[in-house]
């Protein structure tokens, strides 16, 4: 084959490659958009359920509690029922809050994370250390991402880790936000654990927002989860 022909062929291949790369990029982009939409949809579904819980069952329980409170002034044996319905109401409210954290929209990421750690750890034998940079601000999407990653990590710690200490660090540098959740619990072997739905969904979620999530763990030496994301 002459040099001329070869060069022509090469150029053709290069062009084809560029086209393919282009298509791949476009497809990847639309996949990532799809993933984002899915997560957003899940959030709005949760928000809807949370509102329904709060406004539906919550209101009914409020009504019930008020009625019982009124009656218990005459009948002291109702005191226990009053307390039970107050507890039920508080449970429903708490569930509704965890499902859709309005505190995130109302007050921002740092107060929301403080509330979350208090809610999840206050009755556990776990010492919690928070180092949250007050100036960290991000858009709503990223706020939700960070919040949900922390929530999932915390729930894992309470359920599986047997930890006595947890550290939550949040900082930002230029355009990057960094989050670390560290515990001193049982840990696991990175290689042999079949990642449960929790860890996998954290990874998926992070990927959808072009964030990097690393999970490092050693048996008996705790776990560190690190998220870095562009604000």
Q: Which stretch binds another protein (CB under 8 A): 115-123, 141-149, 177-185, 223-231?
A: 115-123
Query: Is residue 20 part of the contact set for another protein (CB under 8 A)?
Result: no
x/- site string to another protein, residues 28 to 67, per CB under 8 A?
A: ----------------------------------x-----
- Rounded to an integer, what distance in angstroms lies between the CA atom of residue 106 and that of residue 147? 14
Q: Which stretch binds another protein (CB under 8 A): 2-10, 45-53, 151-159, 177-185?
A: 151-159
Query: Is residue 186 part of the contact set for another protein (CB under 8 A)?
Result: no
The 10 Å Cβ neighbour count of residue 183 is 26
Query: Is residue 128 part of the contact set for another protein (CB under 8 A)?
Result: no
Question: Binding-site residue total for another protein (CB under 8 A)?
Answer: 32
CB of 110 to another protein, least distance (A): 9
CB of 129 to another protein, least distance (A): 17
Cite the beta strand spans of 82-187 per DSSP E.
127-132, 165-173, 176-183
* CB within 8 Å of 219: residues ≥ 6 apart: 186, 187, 188, 189
Look-up: residue for tokens 């990057």? Answer: 176
* CB within 8 Å of 120: residues ≥ 6 apart: 151, 154, 155, 158
Query: Is residue 93 part of the contact set for another protein (CB under 8 A)?
Result: yes
Helices 197-208 and 3-52, axial angle in degrees (round to 10)? 120
Query: Which uninterrupted H or E stretch holds 102?
Result: helix 102-107
Query: Is residue 120 part of the contact set for another protein (CB under 8 A)?
Result: yes
Residue in 170, 45, 36 with CA at minimum distance from that of residue 109: 170
- Name which position in 5, 73, 123, 174 contacts another protein (CB under 8 A): 123
Which tokens sit at 135?
């100036």
Give the residue with the Cβ less far from another protein, 52 or 91.
91
Binding site for another protein (CB under 8 A): 62, 80-81, 83-84, 86-88, 90-91, 93-94, 98, 102-103, 105-108, 111-112, 114-115, 118-120, 122-124, 155, 158-159
């Amino acid at each position: 084959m002459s040099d001329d022909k070869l060069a022509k062929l090469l150029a053709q291949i290069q062009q084809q490659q560029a086209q393919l790369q282009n298509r791949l990029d476009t497809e990847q982009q639309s996949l990532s958009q799809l993933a984002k939409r899915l997560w957003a949809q899940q959030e709005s579904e949760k928000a809807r359920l949370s509102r329904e819980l709060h406004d539906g069952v919550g209101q009914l329980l409020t009504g019930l509690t008020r009625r019982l409170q009124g009656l218990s002034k005459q009948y002291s044996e109702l005191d226990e029922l009053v307390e039970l319905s107050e507890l039920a109401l508080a449970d429903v409210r708490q569930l509704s809050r965890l499902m859709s954290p309005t505190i995130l929209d109302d007050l921002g990421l740092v107060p929301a994370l403080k509330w979350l750690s208090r809610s999840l750890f206050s009755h556990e034998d776990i010492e919690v250390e928070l180092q949250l940079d007050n100036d960290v601000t991000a858009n709503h999407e990223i706020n939700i991402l960070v919040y949900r990653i922390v929530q999932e990590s915390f729930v894992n710690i309470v359920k599986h880790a047997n930890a006595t200490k947890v550290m939550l660090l949040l900082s930002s540098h230029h355009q990057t936000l960094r989050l670390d959740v560290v515990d001193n619990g049982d840990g696991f072997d990175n290689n042999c654990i079949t990642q449960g739905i929790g860890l996998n969904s954290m990874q998926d979620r992070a990927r959808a927002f072009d964030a990097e999530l690393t999970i490092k763990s050693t048996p008996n030496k705790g776990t560190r989860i690190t998220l870095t994301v562009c604000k």
